[in-house]
Chains A and B, each alone.
Chain A
Amino acid sequence: MSQASQTSPTAATLAAAPVAIECRAITKEFVNGDMVTPVLHGVDLELPAGEMGFLVGPSGCGKTTLISIIAGILTPTSGEVTVFGRDIQHLSAGQKTRFRRENVGFIFQQYNLLPALSAVENAAIPLIAAGRPYREATAAAAELLSRLDMGDHLKKQPRQLSGGQQQRVAVARALVHQPKLVVCDEPTAALDAHTGHRVLELLRAIAISPDRAVIVVTHDNRIFEFADRIAHMDDGRILDIERNGHQRNSGASAATQAATTRHGGSHHV
C-alpha cells in the first residue's frame, strides 16, 4: 500500500508530494439492478507531479471510468486512490465535491460549456462556485483567456465560437482556479490537428508546474508527443506505462515512435 495514502493532507505535504496520482489495485463494477458490469480489474497507476500523463487504449476499456475515479467523481469498488497525497475514495460526497472544486480542473470532449453564458463567464465558473465575487472571478478568467489568445472573444457565447475556441474556453475554465490536477477526456477529439496541437501546447504551458499534474485520456496519436508518460490500457487493466523521454520539443518523429512502440515491463517507471 502506498505511503502517501496514510499521509495527512496538510498544505505542506500537498506541496511536497512527489506523486500526483497514485492508484493501487483499483476495481470498478457498475451495478444496474441485477446487472453487474465489471469494468476495471485492478488498476495500478502512478503519475509524478509536474508531469502530463496520457491514458490510451481501445474504446470501452475503462479510461473514462478510471479518470472519473481519479477526479473524485466515481467511487471505486475497491482499491486505493490518492491524489497529491489525499486519499479520496474515503471522502464523503460533500467532501468530494469540495475536493473537486478546489483541486481538479476538467476538460471534456464535448466542452460542456453553458450555452447561456459568455466565454468569460464560463471560464469564471470554478471561481464563482468557490464563492469569489463575480467581478473578481470574471477578471481573472478574462486574463487567462487573453493568455489563451481569446482576448477578443470574451463576451461571445459558446455558439458564436469555433470548436477550437470553445475548447480554449474550457481550458481556461479548467485552469482558472489553479487546480493541482487537470483531468481531460478526449480534449482534441472534436478538433483538427492544428487546433488540437495548440490546445495541448497551452495546456502544457499553463497547467504543468512542479506541484501540478495533468492526465489526458485520448485516442489521438497526433498529440502523443506532449505526453511525459503514456499508460496503455486494455480491458480494465494497465498493460504498461512508457516514459516518453522525448518531449514535444525533442521532435515529432521520436514522439510518434515512442507512442507506437510498446516496451512492456514495469507499470511504475
Chain B
Amino acid sequence: MNRIALQMLLGDRAKYLGLIFGIMFATLLISQQTSIFVGILVRTAGQILDVYEADIWVMDPRVKFFEEIEPLPDTAVSRVRGVPGVKWGVPFFRGQVVARSTDGMLQQIMLLGIDDATLTGAPRKMIMGNLDDLRRPDSVIMDRDGFNFIWPDEEMKLGKVIELNDRRAEIVGFCETTPPFVTTPVVYSRYSNAMKYVPPRSKQLSYVLVKASDGQTPEELCKKITAQTGFAAYTWRQWAWKTVGYILARTGIPINFGITIALGFIVGSAIAGQTFYLFVVENLKQYGALKAIGVSNGRILLMVLLQALVVGVIGYSLGIGLAAMFFEFTGKNVPALRGFFLPWEVAAGAFVAIMTIVLLVSVFSVRKVLVVDPAIVFRG
C-alpha cells in the first residue's frame, strides 16, 4: 500500500509541487532568519570571543555589556595583578573614534588598544602585513571589512595613513575579525598608542584581561578579584553571555526576529498545511473507496503519514539547500552578512520544526479520512 500511497501523491503533480514549495518556503524562512539571529548574537560577543588568551575580564561594576564602557583607573591593572592566583593581567582599551583620511573620508571606527608588551588580544588572523609591525610608532592594524567599507573601490595595500583624533596612524596590516554588532571598521593599536588617539581623560582603561594561575579555576578567581578590588570580574564565557543577554533584553532584535521566525513558521505551515489538507480532503473519496474495499484505518494512517514524510523531507531538503546557498553567497559577498552561516543546530531545529508541522497537519487531515463513512463511495 506504500507504493500506492506514493503514487497517489505523485499522481497529483500540481498539489505535490505546491506542497513541496510550501514546505521549502517555510524551511527557508525559518532557517535563514534563525541563522541571522544567531549570527547577530554571536557578533555582539564577537570581540570578547576574539580575545582567546584571557580567562577573565575585569571591569567597572556598572558595565553592563561589551560596547558600553565605564573606564577604570590606570591603577586597576596593578591592583588586579596583586590578587593571588592571577598569572598575568593586562590592560585592554575599547572606544569609538572618528577616523579621517587624506582623501577627506570621515568614519567612526572601533578602536581596540592592546597591551604594549604582550599584544594580548591582538587579531588572530592577519591577512596582510605583520603583527609585530604594530610595535612601530603610530602604527595600526585594520580589519579587512573595515577597509572595504571605507574604501570600497580600492585594493588593500599597506602604508595607508589615516588621522585619529588629529594624530597620524599608519595602517601596517590587515586582519580578519568577527564583525562587530554594528558594522564599524575595527582598528587595533598598542594600548599606549591608543591613548593618543582618544581625547585625554582621567580614566581610560576599559578592561583588565586576566589569566588564572594553574590550579586556579577562573570562577574562583573572579570572586577573589571582586572581593579584593571591588571591580566586577567575569569569565570570558560569562561575559559573552552577559553581553548577549543584554542585547536580548534591551533591544528590539529578539522580538523582531522572533516575529519573523514565527511568521515564517505560520506562513510556511499555513501553506504546507493547507495544501496537504486539501490534498487529503480531495482524495477523501479515494480513501473511502479503499476503506470500503477493506483497507484498515491503520493502513490509511500509515499511507498519509508516508505521504507527509516524503513531501516533508523533500521540501525541507530544498529549503535548507536554498538557505545554505543564501549564506554561501552573502557570507562571501555581502559585508554586512559576512561570517553569517547556517549553524547545523539551526538546520536540525528547522528539520524538527518542519517535520512537526507536517506530521501534525497530516494527523489533523487524516482524522477526516479515518471518520469518513466508506458509504460515501456509493454516492455520486
Contact = CB atoms under 8 A, between A and B. Distances in A.
Interface of A: 64, 67-68, 71, 73-74, 94, 97-102, 104, 106, 108-110, 112, 114-117, 121, 125-126, 128-130, 134, 157, 173, 185
Interface size class of B (residues with CB under 8 A): 20 to 34
Interface stretch (B3-11, B176-184, B308-316): B3-11
A104 B9 CA distance: 27
Contact of A129 (B8, B10, B290): B290
B8 A108 contact: no
B377 A114 contact: no
B286 A129 contact: no
Contact of B378 (A100, A125, A130, A185): A185
A106 B285 CA distance: 14
Interface string B6-25: 01111110000000000000
Contact of B286 (A98, A99, A112): A112
A115 B299 CA distance: 19
A104 B377 CA distance: 15
Contact of A108 (B3, B7, B12, B378): B378
Interface in B274-313: 285-286, 288-297, 299
Nearest to B6: A116
A153 B291 CA distance: 26
Contacts of B380: 109-110
Contacts of B293: 100-101, 106, 125-126, 129, 173
Contacts of B1: 128-129
Contacts, number: 86
A128 to B, nearest CB: 6
B3 A134 contact: yes
A167 to B, nearest CB: 14
Contacts of A134: 3
B375 interface: yes
A168 to B, nearest CB: 17
Contact of A121 (B7, B12, B290): B7
Given A68-B378, A125-B4, A73 B299 contact: no
Contact of A117 (B4, B373, B375, B377): B4
Interface in B187-228: none
B373 to A, nearest CB: 8
Contacts of B4: 114, 117, 121, 125, 128
A97 B286 contact: no
Contacts of B295: 97, 101, 129
Contacts of B288: 112
A114 B375 contact: no
Interface in B341-380: 373-375, 377-380
A116 B375 contact: no
A138 to B, nearest CB: 10
30 contacts: A64-B375, A64-B379, A67-B378, A71-B292, A73-B373, A73-B374, A73-B375, A74-B373, A97-B296, A98-B296, A99-B294, A100-B292, A100-B293, A100-B294, A101-B293, A101-B295, A108-B289, A110-B377, A112-B285, A112-B289, A114-B7, A114-B289, A114-B290, A121-B4, A125-B290, A125-B293, A126-B294, A129-B293, A130-B294, A185-B378
